[in-house]
Structure 1
Amino acid sequence: MRISVPTIINSSGAPRRTISPGAAVERIAEFLAPGKATLLTGAGVSVASGIRAYRGKDGRYMNPNYKLRSYLGYPSVRDALPNTSHYAIAALQYASYLPRLVTQNVDGLHHKAIAHLWEPDHIRKQILRTPRNPPLHCKRGHVVPRDAFVDNLEKTGSKLRTNPDGDVDLEGVSYTDFVVPECPQCTLDGQQSSFHKPELIFFGESIPSRIKDRSFHDIEQSERVFVLGTTLATYSAFRLVKHALELRKPVMLLNVGPTRADELPGVEKLEISSSLVLRDVVRAILGSRASQDSAIVHLLQSGIHQPPAPDHEIVSRNT
């Protein structure tokens, strides 16, 4: 089966319209200050946590050996820490300015950023996403925890000595030697099954109805939609923006680079990185509370900023 990976074509050819951080802070704060906003996030939000986005010259779609490198890169994603944008978003959630969050990301960083303030049940009500560290299923339906699966991969001899940083070429590695382990339960049952799939939505698959319905409900219950760090290349995200526009809700999009919504009337786009502005947006909206509420103060003082190095820098270090 052939799966077409969504891409973004900058058909207009118009130059990017950048905005100064100060002007962006003022405009975003004005947009979010009324509250009752739904936030839609994508991979761009997690770049400052060291996780590459999907598109762009250093994105993961430039990677022809996704399965092996996904295995190699899993620990770094699993252990990634929230960045300043995640914590700024958490501050706005905590202050009730972003009561609903729909994320395309599976890194769990939105949850990590606010886990010390909210109970798990409350987080599940406020943040819609696919499971973090989802288990895998073999073709016979047996469940294998993700960490256990990675351990089994290492036992097959597929563990490599090299610990790559990003999607660089792995010199001296034979991808044909990568061995996928058999399902433990199938082996006990006298069956063979090395076909595994995580509980994630792959390209070409449909989103479960409960997730689709919940995401549409979140858009419908909001008064405005704030889109952050996504090209909206996948239709499941793009249609949420279209739905908001059909309901005549204001939509603001914050992203660096072209997106699928650039030509849509009614979408206000700001070409700037969230890490440059979101903390100041929180301070502008909350005023004195940003310095007096201990929980908000802690959130605004938290977060890493460790974006992955460009591939050409990694290659030069390894040569």
Structure 2
Amino acid sequence: MRISVPGIPQAILNAKPALSVKSVSEATQRLSYFLGYGNVAVLTGAGVSVDSGIRAYRGDDGRYMNPNYKPIFYHELMDSSEKGHAYRQRYWLRSYLGYPPVRDAQPNPTHFALAALQYTSHIGHIITQNVDGLHHKALQQSATTNWNPSSLKEDILELHGTLHHVHCSRGHVVDRGVFQDRLSAANPTWQLYAEELERTGTQPRTNPDGDVAIEHLGISYSDFVVPECAECLLEEHRNSVLKPEVIFFGESIPKAVKEESFAQIEKCDQLLVMGTTLATYSAFRLLKHALELKKPVMLLNVGPTRADGLPGVEKIDVPSGTVMRDVVKEILGSRAIEDQIISRMLQMGVVNPPSLTDNDRYPRAAG
């Protein structure tokens, strides 16, 4: 079975930069006009979470730009053989060490700006490729005694799943926090190591899918214990084939999720794509579907994307964090100040981007 990591076609990378809006003031104006009509679906990618400290997959320092990068594929992770067990030891040790920074990441101003536009019904649905749960967390943190945003959480579709749940090969689901505790209990030495990393602030580079590259530290995976599914044991089955509820390379998106993503594109009047190169076809086909339906499409992303040059796509080449608060204020006018819920949202959000000195394109051990 041959499966490759999706990327941007070389012809696009080699082409002259696509014509796009690069001025922050013009970007604010164009986005305000586009979103102001309402009933907009928003498709987000890893670039939206960069200000929260979570690196993008691609871009200048993205993980997939490292020529040595070798991901684990779905069929490898779910292999019940000894070889599959070794793959799971590798995956779960890396994920065990890399999950806490994703778990503790906080929404940034872009997440709260989108939440505010959900609240005002300018945005109908958010389809996200991100597995960090930050769109949900922004709504949760926006809750007040006067407003419960639980209904809006239903309008967020996690296209590629979530890191915050784990399931076994027999379908049992467990909260990631609970499974993280099981990993700690089964690996006390690694627990001490993880606690030392957090205490000293020496956390290895965490990737967007919640794992870390540690081969260059000379660490072996062979002694890491992947606990068996507790629910399977209650049913008198021994099963240590577990994975997060994330779509891996070579794994199909569940039919219900795929159908819902297309339905959301069909329900909207316009599509805004943010912080993604659209390298994965599961996202790119949604943009194509919107174009086929003759719906206006705006693309907000820094750098080249798979959609560059497509007729019907207006591109804005600025970071979302530099414009989205002002976009909300421009659309809502005095309401952005007078509505206490919106005003509060527009004051919330961390800005803690990853260090620019940590560039993953430099050669390092595979991983």
Question: Could you tell me how far apart the structure 2 residues matched to 1:3 and 1:128 are?
Answer: 26
Corresponding residue for 1:270?
A: 316
3-state SS, counterpart of residue 154 of structure 1:
helix
Corresponding residue for 1:143?
A: 173
Corresponding residue for 1:5?
A: 5
Corresponding residue for 1:224?
A: 270
Corresponding residue for 1:58?
A: 61
2:124 aligned with 1:84, yes or no?
A: no
Alpha-carbon deviation of 1:282?
0.7
Contact in 2 for aligned 1:134/1:200 (Cα 8 Å) = no
The number of aligned residues is: 314
Contact in 1 for aligned 2:51/2:353 (Cα 8 Å) = yes
2:42 aligned with 1:39, yes or no?
A: yes
Corresponding residue for 1:194?
A: 240
Instruction: Show CA shifts across 1:195-223 (max 9, x none).
Output: 21222222222222221221111111111
Corresponding residue for 1:14?
A: 16
Instruction: Show CA shifts across 1:74-121 (max 9, x none).
Output: 111112110010011111111111121111112111112122166465
Runs of 4+ more than 6 Å apart: none
Question: Could you tell me how far apart the structure 2 residues matched to 1:32 and 1:293 are?
Answer: 19
TM-score by length of 2: 0.78
Corresponding residue for 1:122?
A: 151
Structure 2: tracts of 5 or more residues without a match: 73-90, 198-202, 207-211, 361-367
2:288 aligned with 1:242, yes or no?
A: yes
Q: Residues 140 and 245 of structure 1: is their aligned pair in 2 closer, same or farther, counting only changes over 3 Å?
A: closer
Corresponding residue for 1:256?
A: 302
Structure 1: tracts of 5 or more residues without a match: 315-319
Instruction: Show CA shifts across 1:28-47 (max 9, x none).
Output: 11111111111111111011
The farther-off stretch of 282-291 and 16-25 is 16-25
Corresponding residue for 1:203?
A: 249
TM-score by length of 1: 0.89
2:120 aligned with 1:95, yes or no?
A: yes
3-state SS, counterpart of residue 38 of structure 1:
strand
Question: Could you tell me how far apart the structure 2 residues matched to 1:188 and 1:248 are?
Answer: 53
Question: Could you tell me how far apart the structure 1 residues matched to 2:115 and 2:94 are?
Answer: 31
Question: Could you tell me how far apart the structure 2 residues matched to 1:47 and 1:223 are?
Answer: 28
Question: Could you tell me how far apart the structure 1 residues matched to 2:135 and 2:281 are?
Answer: 22
Question: Could you tell me how far apart the structure 1 residues matched to 2:61 and 2:321 are?
Answer: 19
Alpha-carbon deviation of 1:190?
6.0
Q: After TM superposition, list the pairs within 5 Å mapping 1:144-163 onto structure 2.
A: 144-157=174-187, 158-159=190-191, 160=193, 161-162=196-197, 163=203
Question: Could you tell me how far apart the structure 2 residues matched to 1:311 and 1:188 are?
Answer: 49
Contact in 2 for aligned 1:3/1:204 (Cα 8 Å) = yes
Contact in 1 for aligned 2:329/2:336 (Cα 8 Å) = yes
Q: Residues 247 and 285 of structure 1: is their aligned pair in 2 closer, same or farther, counting only changes over 3 Å?
A: same
Contact in 2 for aligned 1:35/1:98 (Cα 8 Å) = yes
Instruction: Show CA shifts across 1:271-318 (max 9, x none).
Output: 11000000111111111111111111101111000011135389xxxx
Matched to 1:156, the amino acid is A
Question: Could you tell me how far apart the structure 1 residues matched to 2:275 and 2:232 are?
Answer: 41
3-state SS, counterpart of residue 99 of structure 1:
strand
Q: Percent identity of the aligned residues? A: 54
Question: Could you tell me how far apart the structure 2 residues matched to 1:127 and 1:75 are?
Answer: 23
Question: Could you tell me how far apart the structure 1 residues matched to 2:149 and 2:37 are?
Answer: 27
Matched to 2:112, the amino acid is Y
Corresponding residue for 1:74?
A: 99
Question: Could you tell me how far apart the structure 2 residues matched to 1:69 and 1:311 are?
Answer: 22
3-state SS, counterpart of residue 27 of structure 1:
helix
The farther-off stretch of 119-128 and 244-253 is 119-128
Q: Residues 291 and 185 of structure 1: is their aligned pair in 2 closer, same or farther, counting only changes over 3 Å?
A: closer
Q: Residues 180 and 59 of structure 1: is their aligned pair in 2 closer, same or farther, counting only changes over 3 Å?
A: farther
Corresponding residue for 1:317?
A: none
3-state SS, counterpart of residue 123 of structure 2:
coil
Question: Could you tell me how far apart the structure 2 residues matched to 1:189 and 1:30 are?
Answer: 57
Corresponding residue for 2:230?
A: 184
Instruction: Show CA shifts across 1:240-297 (max 9, x none).
Output: 1111101111100000121111131111111110000001111111111111111111
Alpha-carbon deviation of 1:155?
2.6
1:109 alignment partner, one of 115, 120, 134: 134
